Amino acid sequence: MEFLVSASTPMKSSRWLTAHALAVFAFLYLPIAILILYSFNGQGVGGFPPRNLTLNWYRILFNDAPIWDSVLNSLIVAAAAMVIALLFGIPAALALDRAQFPGKALFRRLVLLPLILPGIITGLSLLMLFRVAEVRLSLLTIVLGHGTALISVATTEVFAGLQKLNRAQEEASLDLGANYWQTFWRITVPNLKLSIIGAALLIFTLSMDEIAVSFFLIGRDNTLPLEIWGRLRRGITPEINAISTIIFMFSLIAIVFWYRLRTRAQVTPEIGAELVETSQTDSQLSS
């Protein structure tokens, strides 16, 4: 807003705002920076200044079989949860967009609820279900839990994509002789490609990181967050900093990947933004 330059007070408030923004960024990034820094610290987790920079913790980490088992478990869980969430979340978004059925309002609320509810409620209610159904807790129960909770993510992202999709495209396809199935695969899905990829990335990352639901549904095999959690309770070592740093790097790669995808496609949806916007209230879905 160029005209603000002309007045003196806005300049002052703008400077104040800049300082505030810098402070918030420092607050957001300082812990992450410290975490990474101390993964190279020879003297353990605490202690200022960091001394004897070393890659030792990474070496220990790479020889730590339980960690890598849990990483593998988490990858399997995340992939399976992603499939479930997309398999049911995409039709759910379509249904909310273009079908009328009794109980639609309740359905909408139920689907989105895990997004805003504290994980403990989702985790406990599923625990009771599995207890009553006499399903033994295992990675499978975690997959079902993550898949169910993250349907909400697929639904919100894809629904946002559907709102931007020009319905006339599908009508044109039907008009030109394609049936619904062909229209879905040739027109609807390509138009939603970015939303679906975004949702998939987000679901995968959220599942990799999920702990509150897993906490209650865990069987004998640990996921990575639960493995880390177990170690934290025993005491802290920079090995955890090292694995956290590696996770952070992978998250960054995912972000960059997504960002490049998005800028190439020149579309605006911001990964996760719809999520937070619509998760609170589903006013967007109710219109």
Partner 1 sequence: MFSRAYRTTITVPPLLWVAVFLLVPYLLMFCYSFWSVSDSGTIMHSWNLDNYKELLAKPVYWQTLLRSMWIAARVMFFSMLLGYPLAYFLSFHAGGRKDLYYQLVIIPLWVSYLVRAYAWKTILGTDGVLNTLLQYVHLTSHPLDFLLYSPFAVVLTLTHIYTPFTFLPIYASLEHIPRNLVEASHDLGATPAQTFWRVIFPLSIPGVLAGATFAFVLSLGDFLAPLLLGGPSGIMISNIVVSLFGAAYNWPLGAAISLCMLALVLALLFFSERLEKKWSFS
Partner 2 sequence: MMATTIQSDTVSLLSIRSVAKHFGKNIVLRDISLEIAEGEFLTILGESGSGKTTLLRILAGFEQSTSGEVWMQGERLDTQPPYRRRVNTVFQHYALFPHMTVEQNVGYGLAIAKRPAAEIESRVAEALAKVKMSAYAKSKPPKISGGQQQRIALARALVNRPRLLLLDEPLSALDANLRRQMQVELKALQREVGITFIFVTHDQEEAMVMSDRIALLRSGELEQVASPREIYNRPATSYTAQFIGHTNLLHADIRHGMATCGALRWPTSLPDGKALFSLRPECIRPATAAPAANDAMVRFQARLRDQAFHGATDLLRVESDGGLILTIRTASRDLPDRLLEFEFSAGDAIPVRATSLGSNSTSEDRA
Rule CB under 8 A: which of 147-206 touch partner 1? 148, 151, 167, 170-171, 174, 180, 205
Quick check: 35 binds partner 1 (CB under 8 A)?
Answer: yes
Q: Binder to partner 2 among 6, 266, 268, 283 (CB under 8 A)?
A: 6
Binding-site partner at residue 5 among partner 2, partner 1, none, CB < 5 to 8 Å by type: partner 2
Quick check: 283 binds partner 2 (CB under 8 A)?
Answer: no
Binding-site partner at residue 135 among partner 1, partner 2, none, CB < 5 to 8 Å by type: none
Specify burial of residue 178 (Cβ count, 10 A radius: 0-12, 13-18, 19+).
middle
Q: Helix 139-164 to helix 65-98 angle, to the nearest 10 degrees?
A: 40
Site string for partner 1, 224-263 (x = CB under 8 A): -x--xx--x---x---xx--x--xx--xx-xx---x----
| CA gap 174, 216 in Å, rounded | 47
Binding-site partner at residue 77 among partner 1, partner 2, none, CB < 5 to 8 Å by type: none
- The string of DSSP codes covering 17-35 is HHHHHHHHHHHHHHHHHHH
> Six-digit token pair at 37?
């820094």
Quick check: 181 binds partner 2 (CB under 8 A)?
Answer: no
Binding-site partner at residue 75 among partner 1, partner 2, none, CB < 5 to 8 Å by type: none
142: nearest Cα among 92, 91, 75: 75
Binding-site partner at residue 171 among partner 1, partner 2, none, CB < 5 to 8 Å by type: partner 1
Contact 153, 203 (CB under 8 A): yes
Specify burial of residue 74 (Cβ count, 10 A radius: 0-12, 13-18, 19+).
buried
* Total of residues contacting partner 2 (CB under 8 A): 6
Contact positions toward partner 2, by CB under 8 A?
Answer: 2-7
